[in-house]
Structure formats: structure tokens, C-alpha cells
Amino acid sequence: MLRHQQILRLISLGLALWAAATLYIRLLPSALLDPVQGAIGFASSLPMAWISVWLVRRVGVLERQEVPLGVAVVGAVAMMIDGVALRWRPDLYGSDPLAVRLGAAWLLWGYGLSLGVAYLMAGPRRSPTKP
């Protein structure tokens, strides 16, 4: 179970990561609308997911086995804000409905990748087998 201080740190990180992703969608809609740039954005999400999960572990001061829970806290905060904003204030993400929809798809992809990376990072360390 996470301690109170860890949860507060992770909530703050969730808010910060939500703001950063929202600014990306709002300020760079061309990166979402262009087919090549959009594909690059999806591909570059994998290393960004690794960095994000690493950041969750560091900011939350988490043990390896706590990483999925920490990522779940950060993701829950960001996803709930995304859900409310996309429902009632989609203009936060920009004025082009297609860019907002593609941005939402990119967000879902990123959340899924981050959860998968957290699962992999929390797994048992493999020791080299002896011949």
C-alpha cells in the first residue's frame, strides 16, 4: 500500500503530465493530423512511456513492485481529467475536432503503453542461468 506522501506526489505528477500532454495536443495539432508525423508520435510513445514510468517510480519513491500501482494512480488522475475535459471542454485540446479526436487516441495509446511498461518493470529480475 502506498503512503499518503507518495499518493500526493503521484497526484501532482498526474496533473503535470496531463498538462504537458494537453499542451502537446493543443500546440502541435499538425503532429497529429499528418499521417507520417502521427505514426512517429505513436512510435515515439514507447520510449516516452518508459521515461514516464521511470519518473513515476522516482517521484513516488516506489519500490519495484509498487510501480504498477503508482502508474495506476498517475494514470487515473490524468484519465479522469481527460474524460471530464473531453466531455465538457474539448476546446482545451484545440479547435480542430479531428485533431482533438486523434489526440484522444494518442492519449489512450500512451496510457496503455505506460501500464504495460509498469507491468514489465515490476516483474522479477531475471538472473543469468548457469550452464
pLDDT per position as a tens digit, 56-95 = 999 999 999 999 999 999 999 999 999 999 999 999 999 9
Q: Which residues contact 10 (CB under 8 A, 6 or more apart)?
A: 2, 56, 59, 60, 70, 73, 74, 77
Q: Which residues contact 72 (CB under 8 A, 6 or more apart)?
A: 115, 118
Amino acid letter at 9? R
Q: How far is CA 130 from the centre of its chain?
A: 38
Q: How many structural domains compose the chain?
A: 1
pLDDT score of 123: 85
Residue 128, pLDDT > 70, answer no
- The span from the CA of 8 to the CA of 3, in Å, is 9
pLDDT score of 114: 97
CB contact at 8 A, 68 and 123: no
Residue 120 has, within 13 A of its CA and on its CB side, a CA count of 11
Asked if residue 129 is part of any domain, the answer here is no
Asked if residue 95 is part of any domain, the answer here is yes
- Does this model's pTM top 0.95? My answer is no
Q: Which of 85, 107, 96, 114 is nearest to 27 (CA)?
A: 96
pLDDT score of 131: 58
Q: What is the average pLDDT score of the chain?
A: 95
Render pLDDT for 7-52 as a digit per residue (tens, 0 to 9).
999 999 999 999 999 999 999 999 999 999 999 999 999 999 999 9
Compute the radius of gyration of the chain from its Cα atoms: 16
pLDDT score of 101: 98
Higher per-residue confidence, 104 vs 1: 104
Give the domain range for residue 71.
Answer: 4-122
CB contact at 8 A, 72 and 6: no
Residue 108, pLDDT > 60, answer yes
